């Protein structure tokens, strides 16, 4: 079971790193409930060995790529994170004084202290991507704009697995140009090529608010342009 756990962890992390397009110098955050992995309830059946297996495997994937791991603690430590001191000093992160235990910090943080070269606890970070094993909620540690990724494996043991990547904010409006999106693999596009489309969609959104057409009809219209990669630059608040 433990060997299978290690292999699945490796496959999960390698896939998320590739799809999130992160590289050397990036931060990858881990949220882990070993209780959920063994089939228990979060915080009620912590396993130090499970934490060690998962964290060691993730470090083996990330370190050769120059990617830093940050391991989130539980709410008893205000969700502080274990990182390498090198990262904390380079990013001027707020180092806090606490040592994790199995039930205050969790198995993942204990494992980080076992396998990192010079681990410290920091108050908060902004990671470029991350994985959440056991629904611990890592969103507060991933920078904007967050992009949900569906993991290649949906469960690790008994734990539900989710993942997040991030991308720069799109700014500038109709005259701006944007770089390709490495997460969704879209091509470079220019928003000023479709001013008529912008006007048309805005008009449809207006009539939708009046009840003339419904959201489903508007969605069908927008979907017709998806292959032109124009809809990704149009944001309508319903």
pLDDT digits (tens, 9 = 90+) for 145-198: 999 999 999 999 999 999 999 999 988 877 888 888 888 765 554 444 455 555
**Which backbone phi and psi does 27 adopt, to 5 degrees?**
-115, 135
Residue 193, pLDDT score: 43
pLDDT of residue 173: 79
If you average pLDDT over residues 109-131, what whole number do you get?
97
Q: Does residue 63 have a pLDDT over 70? A: yes
Per DSSP, the three-state class of 163 is strand
pLDDT at 220: 55
For the four alpha carbons of 91, 94, 96 and 99, in that order, the dihedral sign comes to negative
pLDDT value at position 202? 63
Kindly report whether the peptide bond that precedes residue 218 is cis, defined as omega within 30 degrees of 0. no
Q: Give yes or no for a contact between 5 and 153, defined as CB atoms under 8 angstroms apart.
A: no
Residues 14-29: tens digit of each pLDDT:
999 999 999 999 999 9
- The pLDDT of residue 204 is above 70: no
- Would you say 230 and 192 are in contact if contact means Cβ atoms under 8 Å apart? no
What radius of gyration do the chain's Cα atoms show? Answer: 21
Domains in the chain: ranges and CATH: 2-166 (3.40.50.10360), 173-233 (no CATH)
User: Average pLDDT, stretch 202-220?
Assistant: 62
Mean of the per-residue pLDDT values of the chain: 85
Q: What is the pTM of this model?
A: 0.76
User: Looking at residue 65, what is its pLDDT?
Assistant: 97
Average pLDDT (60-67) is 97
Q: Give yes or no for residue 236 having a pLDDT over 50.
A: no
Q: What is the mean pLDDT of residues 129-136?
A: 97
């Amino acid at each position: 079971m433990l060997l299978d756990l290690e292999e699945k962890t490796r496959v999960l992390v390698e896939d998320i790193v590739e799809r999130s397009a992160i590289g050397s110098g990036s931060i990858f955050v881990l949220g882990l409930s070993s209780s959920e992995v063994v089939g228990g309830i979060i915080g009620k059946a912590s396993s130090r060995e499970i934490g060690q297996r998962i964290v060691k495997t993730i470090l083996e994937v990330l370190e050769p790529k120059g990617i830093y791991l940050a391991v989130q603690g539980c709410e008893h430590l205000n969700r502080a994170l274990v990182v390498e001191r090198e990262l904390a000093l380079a990013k001027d992160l707020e180092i806090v004084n606490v040592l994790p235990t199995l039930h205050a910090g969790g198995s993942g943080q204990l494992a980080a202290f076992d396998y990192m070269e010079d681990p410290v606890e920091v108050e908060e970070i902004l990671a470029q991507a991350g994985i959440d094993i056991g629904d611990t909620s890592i969103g507060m540690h991933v920078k904007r704009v967050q992009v949900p990724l569906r993991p290649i494996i949906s469960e690790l043991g008994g734990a539900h697995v989710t993942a997040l990547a991030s991308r720069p904010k799109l700014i500038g409006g109709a005259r701006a140009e944007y770089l390709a999106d490495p997460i969704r693999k879209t091509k470079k596009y220019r928003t000023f090529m479709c001013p008529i489309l912008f006007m048309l969609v805005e008009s449809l959104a207006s009539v939708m608010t009046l009840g003339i057409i419904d959201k489903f009809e508007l969605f069908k219209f927008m979907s017709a342009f998806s292959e032109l990669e124009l809809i990704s630059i149009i944001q309508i608040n319903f």
